Amino acid sequence: MGAAQSNEHGASTAEELSYVLAERFATKCFTPLELTHFKDNFFSRAAEQSGLRYWNEQTLSDFLAIPDSQDLFLDPGPVIFRMLSYLGSFPFQNTLAPTVLTFEAMVKVVVLLTERYGKVLKRGRKDRIKLIFGSLADVARRPPVYAAAKEHGANGDATTEEAESAPVQSHSLGFSIDEPTNDEYDEDEDDDLALAALESLDAIEVFKHDHRVDKTIYETGISTDTFRRLLMLLLVIAPLRPLESVKIYTSDFDGERMEAIRKEADNIIAAFSPEKRDVGISYKSFARTISLSLPYLFDPLTALFEHMLFSKNLDLSQRRQKGLATETEEEDAEKPDEPLPPPATITLPGSFESAILNPTVVSHLSFFLPSTSPTLNLFRSGIKLHPVFSTNAHGSSLTSFSHHVMTWQSATLLILQGTEEGSSDETPITLGAYIPQTWKSPSSSTSQPSSTKTDPLPCLFQLSPKHILLSGNPYKPQSNQNTPTAYFSTKTGIAIGCQIPPPSRSNKANPKPHGAGSLLIDSDMETATFLTAPIGHDGVFLPPSHTSAEDAPTTVKLDLWTLEIWGIVPNPEDAFSTEPGSSAVEMQRAKWEFEAREAERRRNINIKAGAGDSAAESARWLLEAAGIIGDQGRHSGGSV
């Protein structure tokens, strides 16, 4: 190592400090019960060699139920094992990685991957992103050996045979190495990780010595093959809840499902623009895209590694039942496990089955879609999606759209699919928008409710063929009421993130694209236009994270296949929710029933008289003003 500083614990090398730090993590980041379960899980499965207990790749994959190689799954086990061999050496990755997965190494892995690092990483997720990038970067790595044997060998106290008898990785030592480049290295990321734990150990100088090693790992990149293997696993286990069986989501894959997972992974990979560099995904692109466009991408790893903190061997309720069991009950306990329960879903039953949303697409949405709490993703927040409107089920009439959507009294998710107009390429393009405010009736004014600091921001996105996210602009002036998040009119159609001209009786006031992004859907719901620009911070949405000021604006016009509106049903137990989840559905049903009664009553109103009939005109005006019938192009639309 070359650093001779010691501290109050008597540790003077990276290996010794790494061991002491693991002890500190175990006592500070886990409860005594969690630590007891953790030890039972680890040591009951650990292999032993020369007195060292450790996990190999097979043990890790079996415990976590990581699926083996299938036709299209590409075997994520080696990638996960490689990640852990890097994270287990924290914070001395440059000196000790890859490391053997001893108990001390696994303690650090679980702390980092279950987000229990509040007392360790001062910059939280930003430091975690850097560590995960390092664990995936395709650089050459030496075989892991016993830390003690390596030190003794350096001092001549151990034989070469002893050093060679140390356990080694059960997978290949990384992937192909490309020539490192410095074109995208950000000097702002050159600072060392701020470690409160090491400062308390008086070991910061040893840490700094380790990080004076060259930063080749941040100058190379992650190959698309490596990243695809991890992404496919994350898409599969995204709905996983802590202590839920992983096999619920990793079993019974058919070829069609696997192909859908692979395509969705490739859509996400495209957001990192790996084609711009010979060495794959750069650190700068990785950190920027994760932070701004996919903030919840690695959340499934949290639930996955929570399994380390619960041991079935120590489940007291099961042991108590076993002690009271009769011989017949004991025989029943030896029978094969019961069939696995169906995977959890966040879509509620309703008036239609989605033609767009499937488990893989919903997993993709959970990687970035905001919820009622900024720290929780779609699955962890407990919200549900209720079907509100679909062109497949309810037709392409804006009157039908108004009837179903205007009665929904909470946030909504708009999602549509189509193909590029005039193109021979039939690859579907999937777009969408998250709208946190309620829709307004066509006869309402263009004002929208003022948002608060706790309200989620809207977003506009593309899911395929490339992931693109335009986040809501927190700096948009609230006084600028002519650029609502969403706007609806039977005269002009649906507009997201557009500028709405003042209403005029003399001409047709069409919404105009404004700012960095917008989505326009025509009044026949047959075409949609998606516009993005690299600049424009005065609109509803901020520019996409992958663009630069030199890029040209893009316009994609679609022949619309289907459009769906899903209502966001908040978790009733969510402290950030302003409205109980069940009440949103109940309120919608009540309003739909009211609309049905009003439709029946309208049949008894005579509005078929001629244009000169003032009574008929007055009746029509009253119905339009109440939002009961469409404006037929007479009045301006509403907004949200």
Those residues with Cβ within 8 angstroms of residue 455's Cβ, 6 or more apart along the chain or in another chain: 436
> Whole-model pTM?
0.79
The DSSP secondary-structure symbol of 312 reads: G
Query: pLDDT tens, 513-563?
Result: 988 999 999 999 999 999 999 888 788 999 998 777 778 889 999 999 999
Over pLDDT 90: what percentage of the chain?
37
Half-sphere exposure of residue 536, counting CA atoms within 13 Å on the CB side?
26
pLDDT tops 60 at residue 157: no
> Residue 370, exposed/middle/buried by CB under 10 A (0-12, 13-18, 19+)?
buried
pLDDT score at 62: 92
pLDDT score at 507: 65
Contacts of range 530-533, beta carbons closer than 8 Å, 24 or more positions apart: 530/429, 530/431, 530/462, 530/555, 530/556, 530/557, 530/558, 531/555, 531/556, 532/468, 532/470
Q: What is the 3-class SS of 507-539, one letter each residue?
A: CCCCCEECCCEEEEECCCCCEEEEEECCCCCCC
Of 71-75, 507-511, 571-575, 626-630, which one has max mean pLDDT? 507-511
| Average of per-residue pLDDT across 383-396 | 94
* Whole-Å CA distances, 281 to 271, 275, 316: 10, 8, 47
| Average of per-residue pLDDT across 474-501 | 82
Cβ 33 vs Cβ 44: under 8 Å: no
- DSSP letters along 314-344, please? G-HHHHHHHHH--HHHHHHHTSPPPPPPPPP
pLDDT score at 11: 54
Top pLDDT among 239 and 317 is at 239
* Whole-Å CA distances, 26 to 2, 51, 400, 449, 542: 28, 22, 58, 48, 42
| φ, ψ of residue 560 in degrees (nearest 5) | -75, 125
pLDDT score at 74: 67
- DSSP letters along 92-107, please? -HHHH-S--B-HHHHH
| Mean pLDDT of the chain, nearest integer | 76
Pick from 1-15, 174-188, 346-360: least confident: 174-188
Residue for token pair 């995977």:
343
Pick from 169-183, 370-384, 582-596: least confident: 169-183
| Average of per-residue pLDDT across 564-573 | 84
| Average of per-residue pLDDT across 32-59 | 94
Query: pLDDT tens, 412-433?
Result: 999 999 999 988 888 999 999 9
pLDDT score at 243: 84
Assign 28 a pLDDT band (cuts: 50, 70, 90): confident
Top pLDDT among 340 and 11 is at 340
pLDDT score at 234: 96
* Whole-Å CA distances, 460 to 358, 468, 495: 19, 8, 12
Query: pLDDT tens, 235-271?
Result: 999 999 988 888 888 877 777 888 899 999 999 999 9
pLDDT score at 503: 72
Pick from 104-118, 278-292, 496-510, 600-614: least confident: 600-614
Pick from 106-110, 187-191, 382-386, 489-493: least confident: 187-191
pLDDT score at 88: 93
Can you read off the two tokens belonging to residue 177? 């190495």
pLDDT score at 17: 81
| Average of per-residue pLDDT across 388-399 | 93
pLDDT score at 109: 94
| Average of per-residue pLDDT across 128-138 | 88
Cβ 15 vs Cβ 148: under 8 Å: yes
| Average of per-residue pLDDT across 452-480 | 82
pLDDT score at 138: 78
How far apart CA 560 and CA 529 sit, in angstroms, is: 10
- Least Cα distance to 25 among 237, 270, 200, 232 occurs for 200
| Average of per-residue pLDDT across 70-96 | 83
